[in-house]
Amino acid sequence: MRKGFTRHPKDDTPKVRLKNYITPAGLQRLKDEHRFLMMRERPAVTLVVQWAASNGDRSENADYQYGKRRLRQIDSRIRFLTNRLDIAEVVDPARSGVDQVFFGATVTYADSKGVERTVSIVGQDEVDPARGHISWISPVARALNKSREGDVVTLRTPGGVEELEILEVRYVAL
């Protein structure tokens, strides 16, 4: 042991976790990916690694080295998905009687130039800009939060401040 160095055990108290809000469809996609990795991908790669290891010298065995690297990637993704599923809080966006913007809302707004955009506010694991799905913690979603049709909200961006007019708020299954 080095002089003047003291080891302290790791703290066992759980870290505070933020909620992982997610739609039912998003939760199903995470579960499907987790199941695929556990039942199909990982066993298949494990067989390749076993075969490659049986060929002898592992130091120059590209199949073995690639397989081991791929297994580490798969295991890392499985750990990530398991953690996200553990803290998932499902919010169904198909609800009625809500006229304010919250998680799961599909919002149509116009910027100061009159350009209309429609976005759906979803969980962090469901973001897809091409489909107009934005994270509930994104700057646009935060600006839209709690607004109603006809409201004008302020969006602060690195390029400056922009006014957004809320044209429509609806809740539909995604």
- The answer to whether the beta carbons of residues 171 and 93 sit under 8 Å apart is yes
pLDDT at 47 over 60: yes
Max Cα-Cα span within the chain: 71
pLDDT in tens, 9-41: 665 555 555 678 999 999 999 999 999 999 999
* The predicted structure's pLDDT at residue 152: 95
Distance CA 153, CA 40 (A): 47
* The predicted structure's pLDDT at residue 41: 97
Residue 109, H or E segment? strand 105-110
- The answer to whether the beta carbons of residues 100 and 150 sit under 8 Å apart is no
- The answer to whether the beta carbons of residues 132 and 118 sit under 8 Å apart is yes
Distance CA 125, CA 121 (A): 12
